[in-house]
Chain A
Amino acid sequence: MNLQNRKLVAWGLAAAAVAFGGPAVAQGAVAPEYRWLTFAVFAAIIGLTMYVTYLAAKRVKSASDFYTAGGGVTGIQNGWAIAGDYLSAASFLGIAGLISQYGYDGFMYSVGWLVAYITVLLLIAEPCRNIGKYTLSDILAYRNNPKAMRIVGALSVITVSTFYLTAQMVGGGVLVKTLIGIDYEYSVIAVGVLMLAYVLFGGMVATTWVQIIKAILLVAASLILVMLVWTPYGFSLPGFLGDVVADPKVQARVATLLGDPAKNMSALELGQRFLEPGLYFKNPIDQISLGMALVFGTAGLPHILMRFFTVPTAQAARTSVVWAMAIIGGFYVLTLFLGFGAAKLVGPQAIAAVDAGGNMAAPLLAQFLGGGSNSFLGNFMLAFVSAVAFATIVAVVAGLVLAAASAIAHDLYVGVYHGGDVVPPQQQVRAARIATVVVGALAITIGIAAKGQNVAHLVALAFAVAASANFPCVLLTLYWKKCNTGGIVLGMVVGTVVAVGLTLVSPNVTYPKAVREASQKVLDGEAAKRAAIAEKLASLDAAVVKQGETDQATLDKAVKKANDDLVKVAGKEVSIMGLEKPMFELKNPGIVSIPLGFLAVLLGSLLFRDKRSEELWPEVYARQNTGILASKATSH
C-alpha cells in the first residue's frame, strides 16, 4: 500500500468516525435502537465507493484525469452520472414531499427539471464536447479574450456553485439530523470530509463512480417502493389515485389548505381537489419564471457542463443526455407514486409533523411499507432510504466542489496567473487538489455558519444565475458570429447582478415586519385551536383522537416557530437591503433577468469589437458542428 492509498484509508476512517462516533443525541426519524442499521447500510455504501476511489486514485495522474476522468467515460456511464449529479436531495426528497403535501402542483413542478435536458441535448452538450476541455471558461475563451473569459467565467462558476453548495450543505445537515439524529454540525463535517476523500484522491473518476452508484441505488430504492405501493391496485392508475382521493387524511389536508371555501365541498370533492392545480403555486407568473430558470439554467450549470468533457465524442455526449433523460424522467414518474402513496398511507399531517417541508415523505413511506416503526423490515427500509439520501448529498456536493475547484485551479491559477504558460502536469494536479481542499473547507464553514438559515431559495437562485449569465454566453459564443469578448463580459455581469439583485429585494429575504405580523397571527389563534384539539382528544373515536394528537404536534411546532421567529426579528424593522416590504414581487427573477442577460450579450457584442473573436469564428463554428480534432483534444 503506497502513501497515497494509506492517506485515503485514513481519510475515509476519519469521515466514518465523525459520522458514526459523533454524539447522536437528538431524536431522528430512525428510532435509536435501529440507528446502527442506518450506519451499517451507509457503511456498506461508503465501503463500496471508497473501494472505487482506491482503484481510481491510481489512475489520476494528469490534470485531464483529475478534471474529466481523461475523457474515458462511456455515454451510458455518463448518463447515470449526470442523473446522480442532478437528482439532489431537493428533487429526491423534496418533490415527493411536495406531492405528499400539495398533490398536483408538486408533480407539475418536477416536469421543468426534465424538460431542461432538451435544451442541454439540442443546443449545448455536443458543441461543448467538441470544443471544450475542462471548464465553462474553456468554451468562452476559445474565440474571445482568454484572460477576460477566465476571470468572468470563473467568477460566475464560483457564484453559482457557492449558492448551490450552500443549499446542499445546509439542507443536507438538516436532513441527516432529521433522519438519523446526528447533530447538525457533525453531519455537515461528515458530508464535507467524505466528499473531500472522493474528490481529492479520485478526482473525476471517483466522483463519476460515486454518482453512478448513488443513482442506481436511488432508482432501485424508488422502484421497490413504487412496486409495493402500486401492486395492490393491479398497476391501475385510476384505481390507485381513486384510493388517494377517497382517503380522509388527504381530504382533511385539502380542507386545511383551502380554509373557508372548503366548508361547502363534499369529502370526495375535497379529495379530487388534491389532483387539481393551485394548492401550492399561487402566482402563475412566478411559476413561469421558475420554469424559465430551470429550462435554460440547467444548460448553464457548471457541474453539469463539466460532465460532457468526460466522454470521448459528441455522439457519446448525446447518448449520455438521452440516458440521463430516461433515468431522470423515469425517476420523477416514480416520484408521482411515492408522493401520492405517502399521502395516502402515511398521511400529509404525519409527514409534516416530522418535517414541515414534507421532506420525510419518501423515508416515512419506506418505513410504513416495511411494516411500520416497530418492525425490523420497516426500519431496515427507512435506514436504506436514509443512507441513499446521505450518499445523494455527498455525490452532488462532490460534483459541485470539483466544478468550483477547476475554475480556481485551471482558469484562475493556470489560465490567468500563469497567463497560459506551460504548467507541468504534476503542478496542475497539485493546484487542483489544493483548490479542492480550499473549496471543501469553505463549504463546511459556510454550512456551519448558515445553520438555521432558510436556504431553500438558493437552489432556484443558482439556476437563475446560470440561466441569465452562463446560458446566454455559452449559447451565443457557440452559435452567433458577431458574439465577442465585450458581449460575454457584459452578459456575465448583467445576468449575475440582475438575478442576484432582484432576489435580494424579492419576497425571498426576511422582512421583519411581515414576520412579526405572521407570527403574531399564529399566537393569537393558538387558544382557539387548543380548544378544538382538546375536543378531539376527548373523543371516544380512536381515529379522531389520533387526528387530535397530530394536530397538537403541528400546532406545537407552529407556536415554537412563531416564538423563535419573533426573537430572531426582535428590534429589526427592515430587511438586509433596508426595505420594509419586497420591491420585486416575484420569488424567481428569471423572467426578467434571462432576457436582460441575452440583451447584454447582444449589446456588448455590437458596441465593442474584438478581432480575435471574429477571426476564430470559422474555427469555432466548424469544430462545434463537425468535431474536427475533437478526438485528438482528449489525448493530450
Chain B
Amino acid sequence: MATAPEIDWNAVIADPRFQTLHRRKQGFLTGLMVFSVVFYFLLPIGAAYFQDLFKVKVWGVVNFGLLFAITQFVVAWLVAFYYSRRAGADFDRLAREIAADHEKGRG
C-alpha cells in the first residue's frame, strides 16, 4: 500500500478533535457491541436453561420464547438505527472537519 508522506499522520492523531472523536467512538462502539452480543446470547442460553420461562404463554399460543426471538430482530434494527443516527450526527461531522483541515494542509 502506498503511504502518503504529504500528510503528517502524527499531527492528525494528536489533533484534539481526533482525540475527542476517538474517545467518543471507543466508548459508544464498545458499549453498543457488548450490549448486542450479550443480548443475543441470552437467546440460546435462555432456550437451553430457562425453558420454563420460554414456554409461558403470553399472547394466545404465542409464548415468551417466541416473542423474545422476535424481539431480537427489533433490537438488532434499533441498534443499527441508533448507531447510524449517532454516527451521522456526531462522528461524521468531526471526521469531515479533521479530514478537510489535514488534507488541505499538505503539499
Q: Measuring CB to CB, which residues of chain A are less than 8 angstroms from any residue of chain B?
A: 104-105, 107-108, 111-112, 114-115, 117-119, 121-123, 133, 138, 141-142, 146, 237-239, 241-242, 245, 272, 275-278, 281, 284, 287-288, 291, 295, 314-315, 318-319, 321-322, 325-326, 329, 332-333, 616, 618-619, 621-622, 625-629
- Known pairs A276-B63, A628-B99; list 16 more (Cβ under 8 Å): A104-B47, A104-B65, A111-B73, A118-B33, A121-B83, A241-B66, A272-B57, A272-B63, A277-B47, A288-B41, A288-B45, A315-B88, A318-B87, A616-B3, A625-B22, A626-B95
- With a cutoff of 8 Å between Cβ atoms, the chain B residues found around residue A104 in the complex are 47, 65-66, 69
Which chain B residues lie closer than 8 Å to A245 at the CB level? Answer: 61
A-B contact pairs, 17 of them (CB 8 A): A115-B72, A118-B79, A121-B80, A122-B32, A237-B60, A237-B62, A242-B61, A275-B66, A277-B47, A281-B47, A325-B76, A619-B7, A625-B21, A626-B21, A626-B99, A627-B95, A627-B99
> Which residues of chain A have C-beta atoms less than 8 A from B49's C-beta?
284
Provide the residues of chain A in CB contact with B36, threshold 8 Å: 115, 118, 122
The 6 A-B residue pairs whose C-beta atoms are closest, nearest first, are: A238-B60, A284-B48, A277-B47, A618-B9, A622-B12, A619-B9
B92 CB–A CB distance under 8 Å? yes
* A117, B41: Cβ atoms closer than 8 Å: no
Which B residues between 1 and 47 are near A, CB-CB below 8 angstroms? 1, 3-4, 7, 9-10, 12-13, 18, 21-22, 25, 29, 32-33, 36-37, 40-41, 43-45, 47
A321 to B18 alpha-carbon distance, docked (Å): 25
CB-CB under 8 A from B21, the residues of chain A are 625-626
Interface size for B (C-beta < 8 A) is 55
B10–chain A nearest beta-carbon distance, Å: 5
* Chain B positions within 8 Å of A325 at CB level: 76-77, 80
Q: Contact check: which of A237, A314, A621, A629 meets B13 at CB < 8 Å?
A: A621
Contact with A along B86-107 (1 / 0, CB 8 A): 0110001001001100110000
CA distance A222 to B15 in the complex (A): 51
B1 touches A272 (CB 8 A): no
Q: Which of B9, B48, B61 has the most CB of A within 10 A?
A: B61
Q: Pick the most buried of B3, B21, B76, B81: most chain A CB atoms within 10 A of its CB.
A: B76
Residues from chain A with Cβ under 8 Å of B80 in the complex: 117-118, 121, 321-322, 325
Given known A-B contacts A121-B80, A242-B60, A242-B61, A625 and B25 have beta carbons under 8 A apart: yes
- Residue ranges of B at the interface with A (Cβ–Cβ < 8 Å): 1, 3-4, 7, 9-10, 12-13, 18, 21-22, 25, 29, 32-33, 36-37, 40-41, 43-45, 47-49, 51, 54-55, 57, 59-63, 65-66, 69-70, 72-73, 76-77, 79-81, 83-84, 87-88, 92, 95, 98-99, 102-103
Residue of B nearest to A618 (CB): B9
Closest to B35 in A: A118
Complex: A237 Cα to B63 Cα, angstroms: 11
Are B40 and A112 interface neighbours, CB within 8 A? yes
Chain A residues with Cβ under 8 A from B79's Cβ? 118
Q: Is the CB of B76 within 8 A of A118?
A: yes
Asked if B61 and A108 sit within 8 Å, CB to CB, the answer is no
Task: Collect the chain A residues with CB atoms within 8 Å of residue B70's CB.
Answer: 333
Residues of B within 8 A of A122 (CB): 29, 32-33, 36, 83
- Which one of A239, A276, A619, A625 lies within 8 Å of B54 (CB-CB)? A276
CB-CB nearest in chain A for B6: A629
Q: Contact check, A275 vs B76: say whether CB atoms are below 8 A apart.
A: no
Interface contact B77-A241, CB-CB below 8 Å: no
Closest chain B residue to A620, Cβ basis: B9
Docked CA distance A241–B60 (Å): 9
Cα distance, A365 to B91, chains bound together (Å):
47
Q: Let me know if B40 and A291 touch, CB within 8 A.
A: yes
Chain A contacts for B32, CB-based, 8 A: 118, 122
How far does the Cβ of B12 sit from chain A's closest Cβ, in whole Å? 4
Complex Cα distance A277/B55, Å? 8
Contact between chains at A628 and B102 (CB < 8 Å): yes
B88 to chain A, nearest CB (A): 7
B66 to chain A, nearest CB (A): 6
B10→A115 contact, CB < 8 A: no
> Are A123 and B77 closer than 8 Å at their CB atoms?
no
Residue of A nearest to B10 (CB): A618
Minimum CB–CB distance for B81 against chain A, Å: 7
Interface centre among B40, B65, B81 (most CB of A within 10 A): B40
> CB < 8 Å: which of B43, B45, B62 contacts A238?
B62
- B77–A326 CB distance below 8 A: yes
B-side contacts of A133, CB under 8 Å:
1
A491 → B minimal CB distance (Å): 20
Residues of A within 8 A of B103 (CB): 628-629
Q: B92 contacts which chain A residues (CB < 8 A)?
A: 315
Most buried by A among B1, B51, B66, B95: B1
Tell me the complex Cα distance, A288–B41, Å. Answer: 7
Report chain B residues within 8 Å CB of A622: 9, 12-13, 18
Cα distance, A237 to B61, chains bound together (Å): 9
Q: Complex: how many Å from CA A114 to CA B78?
A: 13
Given A111-B69, A628-B103, answer yes or no on A322-B84 (Cβ-Cβ < 8 Å). Answer: yes
Contact B18 A238 (CB under 8 A): no
Docked Cα-Cα span, A318 to B57, in Å, equals 38
Cα of A278 to Cα of B48 in the assembled complex, Å: 7
For the complex formed, measure the closest distance between the CB of A319 and the CB atoms of chain B, giving whole angstroms: 8
Interface centre among A121, A141, A288 (most CB of B within 10 A): A121
> Given A115-B40, A141-B1, A291-B40, is A108 in contact with B47 using a C-beta cutoff of 8 Å?
yes
Q: Chain A contacts of B84 at CB under 8 A?
A: 318-319, 322
| Shortest Cβ distance from residue B83 to the other chain A in the assembled complex, whole angstroms | 6
A312 and B33 alpha carbons, distance in the complex (Å): 25
Please give, as numbers and ranges, the residues of chain A lying within 8 Å of B51 by CB-CB distance: 276-278
Q: In the bound complex, how far is the Cα of B76 from the Cα of A105, in angstroms?
A: 19
* Given A122-B33, A146-B1, A241-B60: A291 and B22 interface contact (C-beta under 8 Å): no
